[in-house]
Amino acid sequence: MRYLSAVRALSPARFLRGDALHVHPVPMMGLLACLMGLPALLLVREEAPPPERKVIGYLFTPKGDPAPFESVRRNSKTITHLCPTWWEMVDGEGNIEAKSDPAVLELARQEGIAVLPLLANKGFDKALIHNILVSPQRRAWVIDQIETLLKAGGYEGINIDFEAVPFKDRKYLTAFMRELYARLQPQGLLVTIDVPAKEKDNPKAAWSGAFDYVELAKACDHFMVMAYDEHWSTGSPGPVASTAMVRRVMKYAASAVPREKLIMGVPFYGYDWPPKGRAKGMTHTKSIALARAKKAPIRWDKKAPSAWYRYLDGQGKPRTVWFETRRSLEARLTVAQEMEIPGISIWRLGDEDASFWEPIATFRSGRTLIAETVPAGKNGSLP
């Protein structure tokens, strides 16, 4: 809160109505001057603007797909950080294959967007990541490469996205992050980590057991919870991230991680499930276009809340699509707002409708999302 000095000529009538400045306090001499119709020196109290929130976008660019870059270009004033999927550890020795995109870097530099290259274990290979993490020498080699690449590229930091880490490697993953943070943090480089969603800590859980929230949070700047894939590509159809699931996941995360480090993942994508087998990823645009082509009425699940529909494929087999809309996104953002989560991370840029960015801009600004924008539609009707 700041105080500014201002000279205002106030009539007694305006002062007594209380519509002159609407601020306090007024010094006693100033009050007497006002009542006498004389100019008064007032201390004007100006409310500090709400703190801005972070908007982190994952940039995955399949060959020939212009949508991700266009999403960054159109929304560069709203995005604060980019995590492009440019780096991979390609073998069990920890060798990193790194690439970049000059056009993305130029745009990010122009707009003041921090670039944090995402480093993954290629193909989310369990054996590969195990071989690296259990070896102090290989961990050090990976960290050496990260440091060199960050400095050479002028990047602001790194995003670690190790997935399918065996739960038995929990202590080794924590050791890697501690060693990485000790190397990079004193140099002013950001260290961020993507972690699978969970509602409690189960060290033997196949997908999330390796991720010790409490200890990992001590070795990073941003702790990015992938609060989505409630229903995944090889599972049964359903919402990608119901607000009930998101609340449970973020409640646990907030109990284990300092809130100022928390980042809540939000999905822009959906899925198209067959009766059996793997679902296809769907963008908002593809989901709408397919529903129109198949003349499938789009339904609204108020509890999720999310949009969905069913249709018959070319062989007459039923398929089910669940996808995100502006309204479902607003519901997720409201959860982050209510829980005072200081930022979101989006998988992935380019999957969205242009309308998504208005509530995201409101969220980033620190302003309160208007309650009336949260879904009010009934089941069976798209709001």
Give the number of other Cβ atoms within 10 Å of residue 131's Cβ: 18
User: Whose CA is closest to 343, among 373, 366, 310?
Assistant: 366
Residue 242 in contact with residue 230, Cβ under 8 Å? Answer: yes
| Burial (Cβ within 10 Å: 0-12, 13-18, ≥19) of residue 191 | buried
Q: Which of 163, 230, 324, 330 is catalytic?
A: 163
Helices (runs of H) and strands (runs of E) counted in the chain: 12, 18
Residue 71 in contact with residue 32, Cβ under 8 Å? Answer: no
- 276's CB contacts (< 8 A; 6+ apart) are none
Give phi and psi for 349, each to the nearest 5. -65, 135
For the record, the structure tokens of 181 come out as: 């943070």
Mark whether 163 is an active-site residue: yes
H helix or E strand, kind and range, residue 6: strand 2-9
Gap between the Cα atoms of 253 and 296, Å rounded: 38
E-assigned strand segments in 65-138: 81-84, 87-89, 96-98, 114-115, 118-121
Helix (H, G, I), strand (E, B) or coil at 68: helix
For the record, the structure tokens of 90 come out as: 């390609």
| Burial (Cβ within 10 Å: 0-12, 13-18, ≥19) of residue 240 | buried
Residues designated catalytic: 163
